[in-house]
Amino acid sequence: MGGPDTIVFSNSDGAKKTLRMMEQLTDHHYEILTVPEEAAANCIFIKGASNRDFLIHRPPEEAPESTAWFQKLPDYTLLPTACSEASKLGASLSSLCLLLNRKHSYF
């Protein structure tokens, strides 16, 4: 996900097929951001506190053709994060993350 209503896809044949299937299975409209590099499509959107949102994505050294596309996303703090060493072991950026759903305590 590239945001609450934005999905990031590469322009590979598999990604295009997946997008067509998703469009057939849902009536929800998503904004689509298509990036040229397949590894760049694996990014992580984080809804931050105080309306500050973040997008963790591959840095220009790992996805040089896709960096400009991420900069088109409005109102996000972009966090380029290197993943080249983990990629050598077959890991993607999202597979290195632990997602927490923290409930707020109000006193």
pLDDT value of position 17: 92
In a domain, 107, yes or no: no
Q: Of the candidates 96, 55, 99, 97, which has an alpha carbon nearest to the alpha carbon of residue 78? A: 55
pLDDT tens-place string over residues 19-41: 899 888 988 888 888 898 888 88
Q: Looking at the domain assignment, is residue 88 inside a domain?
A: yes
pLDDT in tens, 77-88: 888 888 766 666
Q: What is the pLDDT of residues 46-91, one digit of tens each?
A: 887 777 888 888 888 888 888 888 888 777 888 888 876 666 666 6
Residue 107 has pLDDT above 60, yes or no: no
106 found inside a domain: no
Q: Tell me, what DSSP letter sits at residue 105?
A: P
Domain total of the chain: 1
- The domain of 39 spans 6-95
Is 101 inside any structural domain? no
